[in-house]
Amino acid sequence: MELPFDVKTAQLEGDAFVVSVTGEADMYTAPKIERELQDVLRLGGRSVAVDFVEVGFIDSTALGVLTRFQPRFRARGGDLVIVSDDRRVLRTFEITGLDRIFRIERRLGEAVVGLYARRPHTSRPSPLAREKDPQV
Residue 1 within any structural domain of the chain: no
pLDDT at 119 (0 to 100): 42
pLDDT at 1 (0 to 100): 58
**How many folded domains does the chain comprise?**
1
pLDDT at 25 (0 to 100): 97
- State the Cα–Cα distance between residues 90 and 120, nearest whole angstrom: 22
Which is more confidently placed, 48 or 119? 48
Residue 72 within any structural domain of the chain: yes
CATH number of the domain at 84, please: 3.30.750.24
Residue 67 within any structural domain of the chain: yes
Residue 97 within any structural domain of the chain: yes
First-to-last alpha carbon distance for the chain, in angstroms, is 34
Domain of 41, in residue numbers: 6-132
Residue 23 within any structural domain of the chain: yes
pTM of the model as a whole: 0.85
Cα 61 vs. chain centroid, distance in angstroms? 14
- What is the arithmetic mean of pLDDT over 107-122? 77
For the chain, give the mean pLDDT: 88
